[in-house]
Amino acid sequence: MTLTLTTDPDPSPDPDPGPSPSPNPNQAHGSFNWSSGAARGNHENLILSRCPRLASRFAAEFERLWLDLDPAPPPAPPPAAAAVPSAPAVGVAAAEATEVLFFPEARGARGAHVARLCGELEAARRTLDVAMFTLTHDGMADVLLAQHRRGCRVRVLTDGRQAKCTGADAQRLREAGIAVRLDSSFYAFHHKFAIVDERTLLNGSFNWTAQAACGNHESVVIFRGAGELTASFTAQFERMWSLFAPAAASG
């Protein structure tokens, strides 16, 4: 099992934190399902956060989903994407905030969240590392191809079984010259994260698929300027990249 546990402290006072689930809120998000396979063998991640504003965003989404289970009222649309501001560290611009995206979007806004994620990927200038359980979203794969063509180093880790499913983009990326490595073990390679220039982290439950973008209930958190957190994921990516090196290359 590969389980990345990382805390995301928010030590700064917030003049208007909004509703908080507890005086000292804790919130967990990532790829980790509560299952024996996830706990024992899958490659997973879980971020443990003590950021009140981030917890508040997830608490509000939970309440919306909870009410949607009541057959009486009509389902409420998901909240719009919202930044979760935090006190900037030294040398980090105030605009570099944490942002939460929830899927599916309201009908009038469909596609905006994927465009937002693609914009983050397009911002890469040096490196783009992707660890993705299922990658079948052609639009997002096209961004990786474009970045590769412009000279950005692009690396992709994905699940070996999912790489063979209908519409999978792994082979297309590999044929275009992008470095792709597969986890073909018994357990699932269940991560869903991307690292942009070792500075920005995109992480959550969101697979890069049309179904996740248009129908599933999913979440992605964009961390900008979170150096320690992003470094933890970068180190984990490097460990997995070495682990899944082809036998000929590793020998």
Q: CA 20, CA 15: separation in Å to the nearest integer?
A: 13
Q: Are strands 153-159 and 179-183 parallel, antiparallel or unpaired?
A: parallel
The pair of structure tokens assigned to 105 is 């979007």
Residue 223 near residue 229 (C-beta atoms within 8 A) = yes
The yes-or-no answer on residue 192 being catalytic is yes
The pair of structure tokens assigned to 174 is 């590999």
Buried-exposed string 108-123: b where 16+ CB fall within 10 A, e elsewhere: eeeeebbeebbebbee
Q: What are phi and psi of 34, to 5 degrees?
A: -85, 80
Torsion-angle region of 167 (φ positive above 0: left; ψ -120 to 50: alpha; else: beta)? left
Catalytic residue among 29, 148, 190, 191: 190
Q: CA 21, CA 58: separation in Å to the nearest integer?
A: 10
Alpha helices in 150-226 (DSSP H): 170-175, 210-214
Catalytic residue among 29, 137, 148, 192: 192
Q: CA 132, CA 30: separation in Å to the nearest integer?
A: 12
The yes-or-no answer on residue 197 being catalytic is yes
Give the residue numbers annotated as catalytic, written as ranges: 190, 192, 197
